[in-house]
Amino acid sequence: MIKLAPSILSADFGKLRETVEILNESPADVLHVDVMDGRFVPNISFGFPVLEVLARHSKKPLDVHLMIEEPEKFAERFIKSGASWLSFHLEACAHTHRLLEAVQGWGARPGLAINPQTGLDGMEYLVDCLGFVNVMTVNPGFGGQKFIQAMFHKIKALDELRKKTGSHFEIEIDGGVNMGNAVALKEAGADILVAGNALFSEPQLSEGVLKFKHLLV
């Protein structure tokens, strides 16, 4: 079944523990945690101490999305701080293959995130060390942005590449996902849907997660 990953970036940070406890009791599959450095993206979010608190209280695995320059400098520490899944950006890393293997060696599930303008060139050489590909469907940096429709084409192409190469990496969709496009994304080949604004703007987060999951059955 397709996985749902609520994005903590859209949470009320004053109620982080309460939010994690609500999500613990919900059918959410993983918690998506966006780390931004103010260099790779024009925004700064949070780092190790917040991740450690989330890890202490969450019963769900943490899917940490690094939107930082030089991810190789910090990846191991993010895993030690609680990341079960770790994605970093292709555009921010010269030695992608090496870092994907290292992430696996440090005990996390390796993911590669790609910006909207990035194509799939070279991806066929990475399939053996990819746990998942995070297809950015907005320009990274902020929650609550509009989904870029042209990304459907990329998701389908990635699904075809996966079939052609007989590989098993999952396709994660990040940015502008909502209850209006979720089913079409699933049909295009998505396995994991990240949802921030669409879930946290619901009157009750727990109800929002349930509604979203029912859509995806």
Judge whether 159 counts as a catalytic residue: no
Say how far apart CA 173 and CA 186 lie, in whole Å. Answer: 10
Kindly state the smallest distance separating residue 9's Cβ from Zn ion, in Å.
7
Asked if 90 and 66 count as a contact pair (C-beta separation under 8 A), the reply is: no
Catalytic residue check, 174: yes
In the complex with Zn ion, which residue's Cβ is closer, 34 or 191?
34
Q: For Zn ion, which stretch binds (CB under 5 A), given 98-106, 122-130, 146-154, 170-178?
A: 170-178
Contact yes or no for 64/87 (Cβ under 8 A): yes
Helix residue spans in the chain (DSSP H): 16-24, 48-57, 75-80, 96-105, 151-165, 182-188, 197-200, 205-215
Tell which residue, 121, 133, 120, 136, has the closest CA to residue 168: 133
Q: Is 197 in the site for ligand DX5 (CB under 6 A)?
A: yes
Q: Would you call 51 exposed, middle or buried from its count of C-beta atoms within 10 A (0-12, 13-18, 19+)? A: buried
Please give the size of the binding site for ligand DX5, defined by CB under 6 A: 22
Q: Any contact of residue 37 with ligand DX5 (CB under 6 A)?
A: no
Per CB under 5 A, which region of 31-39, 51-59, 114-122, 204-212 contacts Zn ion? Answer: 31-39
* Euclidean distance between CA atoms 122 and 97, whole angstroms: 11
Applying CB under 6 A, which of residues 3, 7, 58, 158 lies at the interface with ligand DX5?
7
30 binds ligand DX5 (CB under 6 A): no
Just list the catalytic residues: 34, 174
Instruction: Give me the residues that bind ligand DX5 (CB under 6 A), please.
Output: 7, 9-10, 32, 34, 65, 138, 140-145, 174-177, 194-198
